[in-house]
Amino acid sequence: QIPKDPTQRWLRELAALSQQLQQVHPNVLAKILRQRTVYQNEEIVVIDKPYGLPVHGGPGIKNCIADVLPILAKMLENMKAEPLHLCHRLDKETTGVMVLARSKEAAEKIRVLFKTRQVEKVYWAIVLGDPDPVEGVVEIPIVEKEVQSHQSHYKMTLAPNYRLCPEDGKVMKIRKNRNAERAVTRYRRLASASACSLLELQPITGVKHQIRVHLAYGLGCPILGDHKYSHWSKLAPQKLPELTLRRLKLEQSKARHLPLHLHAHRLCLPLGQPLDFVCKPPVFFQKTLRKLELDIPKD
């Protein structure tokens, strides 16, 4: 039963986003990924990763990219094709450019390029609020910590090397956290409206959940639909500004259905000659941009 009311329909679409790909047969999933192939040569296959599809399996996960790589390889080449190999990962909720390798050697070569920061990655994110300044670099180490709340859970968080002295407000160096990883994210605002902004992001390092943590805790601009990093101590849906709710035609009680608006927009891979891949944001992301009156930059 498809609701006639466009707002109800939009809500239904959002609520179904995470579930859709978990309910299809692995062969169907491989077929979907084949249709989303944006480039292939003898070394690599580049796909536009859909929303809600984890890269690796785990508890409660029926479908993931890793499991269908052998089927996808056969669909792309022939029945004797070697399974494809993962070279890097994207979060389950992140969409966009993802590179797969046709051989172990190619995968290893590409992993080294990622590790040595030779791959240029550009993401787009819709965030709450407006970063101040509107462009810059967040360079704050990140560490995983246990959150002590009524429901104990783990989150990545900031482990700064400096803080303000409460007495005189001067910047003072503090002891480094041994487990913290260096994390650097370049950001630039592309548009702002409806109490939200569209940002272009370049993660220079590749720490788990880096962009989400730097935006939420470093800039105070959590990604729209990032229910995990919009608070610290509680597991609760993101609280949205009135204006944003109005433009999205959502009630706060339905905010939990909002998906994470983080998209791997572009990737430049120096394999022989530089290969440049671009994926347009998914339909739900584009609809949100329109509803919030955020103008997509023409590039």
Would you name the residues annotated as active-site residues?
Answer: 91
Residue 89's region, left for phi above 0, alpha for psi from -120 to 50, else beta, is beta
Instruction: List % helix, strand, coil for the chain (3-state, nearest 5).
Output: 25, 30, 45
Distance (Å, rounded) from C-alpha 124 to C-alpha 122? 7
Q: Is the peptide bond before 133 cis (omega within 30 degrees of 0)?
A: yes
DSSP class of residue 178 equals T
Query: Which of 91, 97, 125, 121 lies closest to 37 in space, CA to CA?
Result: 97
Query: Which of 126, 136, 138, 158 lies closest to 263 in space, CA to CA?
Result: 126
Q: Which residues of 256-266 are buried (b: 16+ CB within 10 A; e: fewer)?
A: ebbbbbbbbbb
Angle (nearest 5°) at CA 22 between 9 and 66: 135
Distance (Å, rounded) from C-alpha 120 to C-alpha 110? 12
Place of tokens 């292939």: 40
